[in-house]
Structure 1
């Protein structure tokens, strides 16, 4: 007999509608951002614009969010759908998305005041989509199976991003964010800033695992996929 005080997750239809709607919105926001970037490229080669576009952690994370939302909603039985529906994957993507939102509003918003279409793209990518992924994880993702070590494994993605940023920046002289700009700050200061960011990832990852465990103890077991 179910515990009357337990939490029951919302139904699969609502989850699917949520994921389809925000997944498509995320792709639209990425398309808008790329179009705006091209319009401001000042004749730079398309290849350079593409590389720089996909060198932003915000862009890569929003791509992950879009896939995490759309893949299970479109076909939960496909390989990509099953993988993206995994509790560990969804928790990691949620944590990355939260870092995107926090980093933008705490470190970047003060040096960037977009208007018009730029404001819309920034709001969607740095606020709306991180919140959509967070809500999806809280409401529609099964809980109670994460391990503390998962928070350490989730550091791989930002660590690889950091290595790419250093390598690309050394070759091009271009860095996506001021707080890891080796040209302006020097290697030591940029490395310290990035190490601090990795610490934030770890702390938030541990918080995600803790929340997962608390909610997992309160939710009633459900059968079938939430997608």
Structure 2
């Protein structure tokens, strides 16, 4: 069942990314410029990572990368990242446009289907161990890297992936304030995730002890 779910997750994630890439390229005036723009979104970064995660665990779980992805802290971190992709979209970005047809399918796949599938996978199939609350700080590395990349790219091109980090319209003070709010959300949800993870870990330990005693 675990392998089946991994295959489902991989198919869903690769389908979502490739469909969105196809749509982006189809209507692009400059394919090179559009490709660069396409890979500037946190949604795409995170869905690709989830797709690679599933694929590696299916095809080569014993490799160095496979062992890295098998670490409970990494699996929990991926849950944090993909859930925040969905939350930011549905709470902040969804009302900014009204996709139709293939765009709607790609949009929902990236922001709803893949996050929900990974949430279920993490709950029922991922290995868990007790995590330190300092993990919430470690998990900030990824969004910090993304924000720095977006600001550098924007300073060069004048284009920013999301309106709440658009320096051209907001200025650096407001943009950095917005970025700090995003990082705070990652941190708070990261702490909550550690709490839930440790509760589940304790429950699994109790269940195993009961089975042994019986």
Unaligned 5+ residue runs, structure 2?
210-214
- Matches of 1:221 and 1:82 in 2, distance apart? 24
Match of 1:203 in 2: 188
In 2, Cα distance between equivalents of 1:201 and 1:117: 30
Mapped to 2, the partners of 1:204 and 1:67 lie a distance apart of 24
> Is residue 37 of structure 1 aligned with residue 24 of structure 2?
yes
Is the partner of 1:76 in helix, strand or coil? Answer: coil
RMSD: 1.4
Q: Distance in 2 between matches of 1:184 and 1:37?
A: 24
* Structure 2 SS opposite 1:186: helix
Structure 1 ranges of 4+ moved more than 3 A:
none
Structure 1: tracts of 5 or more residues without a match? 1-13, 223-227
Secondary structure of the structure 1 residue equivalent to 2:173:
helix
Distance in 1 of aligned mates of 2:167 and 2:5: 40
- State the Cα deviation string for residues 39-98 of structure 1 (Å, max 9, x = none): 2212x1x33222211110000000111122221122221222211111111111110001
Residue from 2, 21, 35 that aligns with 2:8: 21
Q: Distance in 1 between matches of 2:57 and 2:102?
A: 30
Structure with the higher helix share, 1 or 2: 2
TM-score (norm: length of structure 2): 0.93
CA distance in 1, matches of 2:195, 2:126: 15
Tell me if the contact between 1:38 and 1:49 (Cα under 8 Å) persists in the aligned partners: yes
The aligned residue for residue 72 of structure 2 is 87
- Please give the TM-score of this superposition, normalised by the length of structure 1: 0.88
Number of equivalences: 207
Partners of 1:82 and 1:173 lie apart in 2 by 40
Residues 109-164 of structure 1: per-residue CA shift (max 9 Å, x gap)? 01111000000000000000011111111111122331111110000010010001
